[in-house]
Amino acid sequence: MRRLSRGFTLIELLVAIAVMALMALLSWRGLDGMSRAQNQLQTHADDALALQVGLSQWRSDLDAMTELRGTPALDWDGRVLRITRTHALREPVSLQVVAWTLRGQGINSTWVRWQSPPLSLRSEWTNAWSRAQSWGQTPSQAERGNEVNVRTLSQWQIFFYRGGAWTNPLSSEGTNTTPTTPAMPSAPNVPPPANTPSTPDGIRLVLDLSGGQSLTGKISLDWVKPTLTGNLP
């Protein structure tokens, strides 16, 4: 007797299609979850790298800070931190003025760094020192060309280690002036001042990372003067 052959019934086809659709949906959700996780990891890594680069530059500026007679090595006015440092890639060795500030308000503020070209005369340094402060207050379009946006922050704080304790940089403690040598060469009719403010033994940087990013919370970084002996608390 011949065997009768028959195809799938309509119900069987509908069940098979439903199973395949469910499998496709689950597979898509799995791939989407993997893609989202990978993007989050990449964003976290990029954010951590950018922060690490910014902190490394901060430490590098302080390590290269130079005290010369009549040339302030460091100044903090409550908004802009200015530093006189040696220029890393210039022979013969010359100076450079760098500045750090927080621009904006709230969680969308930006930590910004500015730098001058290499300096060899006191008149050039005086001009760059003044420009750095003006840049921190009302930056011109030309000055913005010398700045770099480091990271989004909501707040930053700076403390100086003076007299055996961490203090407010704007307080009167530890502001004795100390003459240092040598001095920068002066342009004609620009005599250098006799004394410069002494630099603190340590500087503490506290950053409040903004919410809504992969890295949040507060971080602290302490810099110690290379000539200081002993430990900071």
Q: What is the reported pLDDT for 57?
A: 94
Q: 12 lies in a domain?
A: no
Q: 30 lies in a domain?
A: no
Sorted by sequence, the CB contacts under 8 Å of residue 219 that are 6+ apart come out as 51, 206, 207, 209
Q: 13 lies in a domain?
A: no
Q: What is the reported pLDDT for 209?
A: 87
Q: What is the mean pLDDT of residues 183-205?
A: 61
Res. 12: pLDDT tops 60: yes
Q: What is the reported pLDDT for 187?
A: 44
Q: What is the pTM of this model?
A: 0.73
Q: 9 lies in a domain?
A: no
Q: 106 lies in a domain?
A: yes
Helices (H) and strands (E) in the chain, counts: 3, 10
Q: 32 lies in a domain?
A: no
Which residue range is the domain that position 176 belongs to? 39-224
196/122 Cα distance (integer angstroms)? 14
Q: 6 lies in a domain?
A: no
Q: 207 lies in a domain?
A: yes
pLDDT in tens, 82-106: 999 988 665 566 889 999 999 988 7
pLDDT in tens, 38-54: 776 777 777 888 889 99
- Read off the amino acid at residue 198: S
Domains held by the chain: number: 1
Beta bridge partners, 165, equal 162
For the chain, what is the mean pLDDT?
79
